[in-house]
Amino acid sequence: MVMVGEKMKREIIEFKDNVPFSIVVQSIKNYPIHWHEDVTEILMPIKGSIEVRSNFEYILVKEGDFWFINNKSIHSIRGSSEAIVVIFYIDLNYFEQYFEYIKHMFFRNNMYSKDNTKVESDNYDDDVRKGYKTRFRNLLVSVLTDITNEDPLARELTQDSVYQLVSSMVKEFNWLQFLKKSNDFISPFQLDRYHRIVKFIDEHYHEKITLDLIAQQEFITKNYFSHLWKNLSNFSFQERVNYERVLRSEFLLLTTNLSLASISEKCGFSDIKYFYNHFKRWYGCNPLEHKNKCLSYMSQEFDYNELDLKSMKKDIDNYIKRIVMPEYAENNIWRTTTLFDEYIKMKYLYKIDKITPQPSPRNVKVNIFSPNNFKMKEGKFFFNWQNIDLLVNFSETSDFDINMKINCHDLDDKWWKKAVHKFLDSCIYRYRIITINKWKFLIYYNDEISLNKANVIRNIIKEKVSEASIIYYFSI
């Protein structure tokens, strides 16, 4: 689809048959400026990369990563040659019943740019955040494979997976949570208060909003509120109010012919000079310069095309092999034609379990060095990440604990130490320490020789994962 000179407009997403999400695949070279209301959009390139302009930010989203487009964010997309993007649309009206303030939450998965320059969507080096992102991407892939699977059971379970996806957004990618220091704690009570205040700002940005007014509404003192806000936000309260006003001004700037003085007044600025100053702070230019840039972008030809989701199964499988499970690209030693089929069965069992809850703790066990999960080929180690990834992801998005079983009798004296090191190093890279710290390692032995191996394995695990829980089992 090639279109010329489109208007900047709201793009309406239709959610059919009471299904609170929608998934489309598009090839994108350049996509016009637009926005959505009551929708969070997630962009995941499965081929090539894209540059996203969202409000004042430029973000490079590479293959293997994803990006959130927040509710009412004005944005446009440019793609590399032959870029293919999977787009997930989440219906916030539906999920408001589970997460009261979701329409007023801001989701992100990178750090802010300090100077309005283009940044990559993975510009951070924190293992906790990397772990969040790895699991979230795998969950996106799980939803995508469910929706393209011909098995009716897969489609039946997709909505449960999307709920897990949204829950992860709220708990781990709410920008307060994602940008906070790893040792900080934000209580649910504090988060609710913050979101309640942000909702008030969203609805009253055109009015005068003061600390005294918010403190009065929250039935707290002004000093208490100032202390609370300082602990929660990188921006002062007044900066947050003016940030919202600037974002609202962009709508009027791009969709009306109002004067700058009128826009300033309608967005709650007491003087047009404050409007100029705050706009330039966030956008790096004055309002008219930004408008002219957007008008220039919208005057070009746009090139994007929606692809048939069912016909993309091969491309999706290739993406999984290259990005999620890269070992398959060069060494196709595992069965890969029905990726994620076992995951569907696990989710079905979990769904049944939720209907009739079990009183005892529930566990998922991964036998690391069983023939189904481990092979050697030409002196190299290969782990069946197809199985392991799915089990780890399942445990992270359900109430099941994961146990990594190492049977000392499966370990050959010639390679077992290197193999244990390889497995742990790969897990740290794939899932990050924050995830592995939750695991239990079950070490099985039945004689003095295997006990010696068990002790060495314990030391290797403790060296790499200091908080690991290790349990010895004697079997006969």
- Which residues make Cβ contacts (< 8 Å) with residue 18, sequence separation at least 6? none
Instruction: Name the residue ranges covered by the structural domains of the chain.
Output: 1-233+295-324, 354-474
Per-residue model confidence (pLDDT) at position 47: 94
Examine the pLDDT at 126 and tell me if it is beyond 90.
no
pLDDT digit string, tens, across residues 333-353: 554 434 445 555 555 555 555
| pLDDT level of residue 37 (50, 70, 90 thresholds) | very high
Topology of the domain comprising 1-233+295-324:
Jelly Rolls (2.60.120)
**H or E segment and range at residue 67:** strand 67-69
Per-residue model confidence (pLDDT) at position 181: 55
| Amino acid, single-letter form, for residue 419 | A
pLDDT digit string, tens, across residues 239-249: 999 999 999 99
Closest CA relative to residue 21, chosen from 174, 171, 136, 166? 166
Examine the pLDDT at 475 and tell me if it is beyond 60.
yes
**Chain center to CA of 418:** 33
Q: Where are the alpha helices (DSSP H) in 169-236?
A: 175-179, 188-204, 211-218, 222-232
- Which residues make Cβ contacts (< 8 Å) with residue 26, sequence separation at least 6? 84, 85, 87, 304, 305, 306, 307
pTM above 0.85, yes or no: no
The answer to whether 174 and 105 are in contact (CB under 8 A) is: yes
In 3-state terms, what secondary structure has residue 159? helix
Examine the pLDDT at 476 and tell me if it is beyond 80.
no
The answer to whether 173 and 107 are in contact (CB under 8 A) is: yes
Average pLDDT, the chain: 84
